[in-house]
C-alpha cells in the first residue's frame, strides 16, 4: 500500500530521511483526479529518481470562481491506486489549513507574464499557483519537479520563479498527453456533456491549422466554442476556450 502523508511536519521528516540516505527525489505536484497525463509525469519521475513523491492538493487560492473549485473532481482512493501503479513511493495529501497556516497573508506575485493570457481571464490565479508550488518545493526539496506542457504559461512561470528564488530543484517539462482524437487530457474533461466531448477535439485541430490567430479565433467561434484567447508566444500558439461550464486550454508549437 502506498504511503500517504497528511501533514507538512511529517512530510518534512520523511524527506529528510530520504536525503540522509542520499536518495534522489522526484516531485510530481497535482490536484488529484489523476489521468494518463499525470501518470506520464510519475513515470518520468520514476525513471529519473530513487524516490517519487506525488502531492495531491486541490489548491483553493488559484480559483477566482468558488463553483469551479467545488466542481473539481476529488477521487483520492482511485488516485492512490493509480499513483502507486505508476511508480510513486508516497503521496503528500495535506489539509488547506496546513498549507495556508498563515491565512494566505504571504504570497508570490509575478508582475508581468502572469497578467497575460490565463492571468488576464483568471484574477489571482497565478498568485495561487506560484505560492503553492513554492511551498511544495520548499517542503519536499526535491532534486527534480515535473510539470506538463499543457499548462505552458504555468510551466514557464514556475521555472522562472524557481530561478528567481534560487530554488535548487530542477523544473522538468513533460510533453502533453492527448486522447486518441487529439483532446489534451485534463481532469475537467469528465464534466463535458456527450455532445461537448464530440466537439472538444476541434480545439486542438484548429490550433494546428497554421492560420492566423484571428482566423483561428473565428473558426473556434463558428465551431461553437466560447473563446477567451488565441495568442502566439515564442514558438507556441496558446488558446483557452469554453464549452458549457468547462474551460479548456491547449497549445501547439508553430
Q: Annotated catalytic sites, by residue?
A: 38
Contact residues for 88 (Cβ-Cβ < 8 A; gap 6+): 2, 28, 42, 45, 46, 52, 53, 54
SS3 53: strand
CA distance 143 to 78: 27
Alpha-helical runs (H) found in the chain? 8-20, 36-48, 66-71, 76-86, 96-99, 118-121, 125-140, 152-164, 194-199, 201-207, 213-223
- Joined together, the cell numbers standing for residue 147 give 510539470
- SS3 readout for 200-233: CHHHHHHHCCCCCHHHHHHHHHHHCCEEEEEEEE
Amino acid at each position: 500500500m502506498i504511503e500517504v502523508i497528511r501533514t507538512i511536519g511529517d512530510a518534512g521528516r520523511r524527506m529528510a530521511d530520504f536525503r540522509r540516505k542520499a536518495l534522489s527525489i522526484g516531485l510530481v505536484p497535482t490536484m488529484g483526479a489523476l489521468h494518463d497525463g499525470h501518470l506520464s509525469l510519475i513515470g518520468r519521475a520514476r525513471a529519473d529518481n530513487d524516490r517519487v513523491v506525488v502531492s495531491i492538493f486541490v489548491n483553493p487560492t488559484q480559483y477566482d470562481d468558488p463553483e469551479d473549485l467545488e466542481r473539481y473532481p476529488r477521487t483520492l482512493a482511485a488516485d492512490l491506486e493509480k499513483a502507486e501503479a505508476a511508480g510513486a513511493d508516497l503521496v503528500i495529501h495535506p489539509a488547506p489549513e496546513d498549507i495556508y497556516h498563515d491565512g494566505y497573508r504571504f504570497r508570490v506575485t509575478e508582475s508581468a507574464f502572469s497578467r497575460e493570457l490565463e492571468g488576464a481571464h483568471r484574477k489571482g490565479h497565478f498568485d495561487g499557483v506560484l505560492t503553492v508550488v513554492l511551498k511544495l518545493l520548499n517542503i519536499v526539496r526535491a532534486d527534480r519537479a515535473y510539470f506538463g506542457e499543457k499548462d505552458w504559461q504555468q510551466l514557464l512561470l514556475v521555472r522562472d520563479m524557481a530561478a528567481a528564488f534560487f530554488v535548487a530543484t530542477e523544473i522538468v517539462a513533460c510533453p502533453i498527453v492527448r486522447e486518441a482524437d487529439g483532446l489534451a487530457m485534463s481532469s475537467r474533461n469528465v464534466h463535458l456533456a456527450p455532445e461537448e466531448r464530440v466537439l472538444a477535439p476541434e480545439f486542438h485541430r484548429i490550433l494546428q491549422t497554421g492560420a492566423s490567430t484571428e482566423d483561428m479565433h473565428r473558426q473556434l467561434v463558428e465551431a461553437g466554442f466560447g473563446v477567451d484567447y488565441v495568442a502566439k508566444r515564442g514558438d507556441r500558439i496558446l488558446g483557452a476556450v469554453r464549452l458549457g461550464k468547462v474551460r479548456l486550454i491547449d497549445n501547439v508549437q508553430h
